[in-house]
Structures are given as structure tokens and as C-alpha cells.
Amino acid sequence: MKNQVYLYPIWVRLWHLLNALLFLTLIVTGLSLQYSSNDYSLIRFDWAISIHDIAGIALCVAYIFYLFSNRFTSNGTYYQFHLTGMLVRVLKQLRYYSIGIFKNEDAPYPISIDRKFNPLQKISYVIVMYVFMPIIVITGTALFFPEILPTDLFGISGIHIVDLIHIVTGFALSIFMAVHIYFCTIGKTALANFKSMINGWH
Ligand code: HEM
């Protein structure tokens, strides 16, 4: 294990695997619900609702586990950042991904035990996990208990507004997932980061 650092403890790997599987389930059932018609549905409508509900509840539980674990273990420190100079660091990383990497330049922020994420990873994980995830979890919970929603909000049904926010956030997270998987292929080899998420070692 020379030159390797243990970056992904077992709880991160198990949470991440469950989170990814639940996300895929939610995306497929969510798309089926969104685009179903009387003539055609990818998954039977009532099944899609039940699977989406169960996967959504499981995702909420997994997310609460992630929040607590990040709060009470050292993994949370990797998500802390200083706003000062953040834009410069992110732009530097973006420049590396778009130009430097093709010129065989060294990564500006190499991964180490002190720096698990480069600035771009860090900012995107913080936004996704601490902004978008709470939005999708809260709106999903509200849609699960529609009776708590106001019938009229600025002249529009409360359910309608919350549903819209839920769907837009769902699409944003789906786009994140595709971009995230693409960026994960940029490692020492195309599969290196995926192997790290399996065995914990980078
Ligand atoms: C099939 C789907 C997915 C695959 C293959 C995948 C792959 C990976 C890999 C290889 C890593 C380790 C490299 C790195 O740290 O960047 C990683 C980390 C991470 N992924 Fe994913 N991912 C998937 C879905 C998701 C989803 C849906 C989310 C969130 C909504 C997510 C959030 C994260 C976070 C927060 C980390 C860092 C975890 C930590 O070390 O604290 N991933 N992912």
C-alpha cells in the first residue's frame, strides 16, 4: 500500500453505494411518473409510485446517516472550505481539467490525506450534499404528506409549486450524477477512482 492513502472509510463506501443505487431507482421511477400517459408508461403507474416512495424514504434515512457521520467523524473536515480565494482555486482546477491535463501538467491540487477533494470536487459536493439534497428531501417529504401543504400559494396550488421545485432539483441532481461519473473517470486510470470507492484506498 506504498504511496496509497486510505480515503474512503467503510461507512462512506456503503452509504455511497446505497445512495447511488437509490438515486438510479428514483431517476428511473421519477422519469416514468413524469412522462407516463394513459397509452404508455415505462413502469406501471401505481408500481412506479410505490417504488419511488420506498426509495425516497430510504434515501432520506441514508442522507440523515450521512449528515450525522460527516458531523461526528473526520470525514466532515474534507467538506470545510474558506470562501477567500475559492473562485481562483476552482478556476485553476477547471483550467487544469480543460487544458493542463492534455499537456501532461501536474494536478494543481493533488489528492493527499489532508486534501481528499480538489476545489471543484469540494464545491460541487458541498452544493449537492448541503443545498440540493436538503431541497429534494424536504420537498419529497412534503409531497408524501400533501395535506400539510397550503392549497393556495400566490394563486397557485401549494402542491404544484413544491412538485415543480422537486422535479427541477431532481433533474439538476441527475445532471450532477452524469457529470460526477464523467469526472470520476479522470484519475490515474479511467477506473482508478471507482476502485478507490470499492476498496477505500486512493
Ligand atoms: C452510479 C452513480 C455514481 C458513481 C459511479 C459514483 C462514483 C463516485 C466515485 C468513484 C467517487 C470517489 C471519487 C471522488 O471522491 O470524487 C465518488 C465520491 C462521491 N460521490 Fe459519487 N458516484 C455516483 C453517484 C453519486 C450520487 C448520486 C451522489 C450524490 C447525490 C454522489 C456523491 C458523492 C460524494 C459526496 C462523494 C464523496 C464522498 C466522500 O468521500 O465523502 N455520488 N463517487
Q: Which atom of ligand 1 lies closest to the CA of 78?
A: 41
Kindly give the distance from the C-alpha atom of residue 180 to the centroid of ligand 1, in angstroms, as a whole number.
7
* C-alpha closest to that of 129 among 185, 64, 85: 64
Q: Which residues, judged by CB distance below 6 Å to any ligand atom, belong to the binding site of ligand 1? A: 8, 12, 16, 19-20, 23, 75, 121, 125, 128-129, 173, 177, 180-181, 184, 193-194, 196-197
Do 62 and 15 touch, CB atoms closer than 8 A? Answer: yes
Residues in a beta bridge with 156: 153
Domain boundaries, the chain: 10-199
Q: 10-199: which CATH number, 1.10.12, 2.60.40, 1.20.950, 2.60.120?
A: 1.20.950
SS3 of 156, please?
strand
DSSP at 3: T
Predicted TM-score (pTM) of this structure = 0.94
64-to-36, 58, 89, 163, 192 alpha-carbon distances in Å? 31, 10, 30, 22, 29
Written as tens digits, the pLDDT of the chain (202 aa) is 568 999 999 999 999 999 999 999 999 999 999 998 888 888 999 999 999 999 999 999 999 999 999 999 999 999 999 999 999 999 999 999 999 999 999 999 999 999 999 999 999 999 999 999 999 999 999 999 999 999 988 899 999 999 999 999 999 999 999 999 999 999 889 999 999 999 999 9
- Candidate of 60, 197, 201, 202 to mutate for ligand 1, largest count of ligand atoms within 8 Å of Cβ: 197
32/174 Cα distance (integer angstroms): 14
Nearest CA to ligand 1 atom 34: 125
Kindly give the distance from the C-alpha atom of residue 193 to the centroid of ligand 1, in angstroms, as a whole number.
10
Do 51 and 43 touch, CB atoms closer than 8 A? Answer: yes
Count of all residues that appear for the chain in the document: 202
- What letter represents residue 44's amino acid? R
Q: Which atom of ligand 1 lies closest to the CA of 8?
A: 40
